[in-house]
Structure 1
Amino acid sequence: MGDVAARTGTTSRMVRYYENQGLITAARSLSGQRLFAPAVVDQVRHIRMLLAAGLPTRAISDLLDCIRDPDRLEPCAVPLLVEHLREYDSQIADLVNTRDALQGLIDTTATRRH
C-alpha cells in the first residue's frame, strides 16, 4: 500500500479509502498484507484526476471502465460527465443568485446608514 501511495503522490490512507469504495482491489498475502497489481498505480492516478475534476467517488466508480489511455477518457464517459457538468452549472447559478441577494442586502443596509 505504501508503494502505491508513494508512486501516485497520495497517502496510504487514501489508497485504503479507494479500496473501501471499490475503486481498486487488492489480493492478500498469506500474512494478510495487501498485494496490488501494477495496473493499480494507473488506476489511482485516474481516480485522483477525476477527483480533481470534482467528481464524487460514486461517479468515478461508473467511469473506471471508460479509461484506457492515461491522458483521456473514452466516449462512454461523456454522458456522466455532462450530467455532472449540468449539476455544477446549476449549483453555480444558485450561488450567483445567493451572492446577488446578499450583495443587495449589503447595498440596502449601507445606503440606510448614510
Structure 2
Amino acid sequence: MTDTRVSQAGFTLIETLVALAVLAVGSVTLLVGVERHAARVHGLSDRLVARWVAENALAATTLGVPTQDQWTRALDIDWSVTLRARALTGSGLQSVTASVADTAAGPDATLVSLTGYIARTDARP
C-alpha cells in the first residue's frame, strides 16, 4: 500500500495571523497620515482667515477708518489684531504691521503678520 496524502490548499493559521498583523500595521500608518493631513488643512484654514483679518486691518488703517469689532470675528473665532507703526526716515512713509492671533490662544500665538506702507501724516515735504 502506498501512502497517499491529499495536499491541503489554503493558508495555515500562522500565515493568516502574519497577514493580519501586516494589514493592521498598514492601517494604523494610513490612519496616522490622514490625521496629520487633516490637522494641516485645519491649520491652513485658520491662517487663511487670519490673513484676511490682517488685510482688512491694513486696509482700514490705510483708509484712516477705525477698525470695528465685527471685522475681527471670522469663522466663529474672535481674532485679536495688533497694529504697530514705525516711521521710515527720509521717505515720508511709515510701515504698519498687523499681527493677528486667535484671542483664545492669547496674543503670543500670532498666526499671521502683514506689513503695509502708508504716507506719514507728519511728513514734511
> TM over 0.5, yes or no?
no
Shorter-chain TM band: 0.3 to 0.5
TM-score scaled by length of structure 2 = 0.30
Higher relative contact order (CA 8 A, sep 6+): 2
Higher strand share: 2
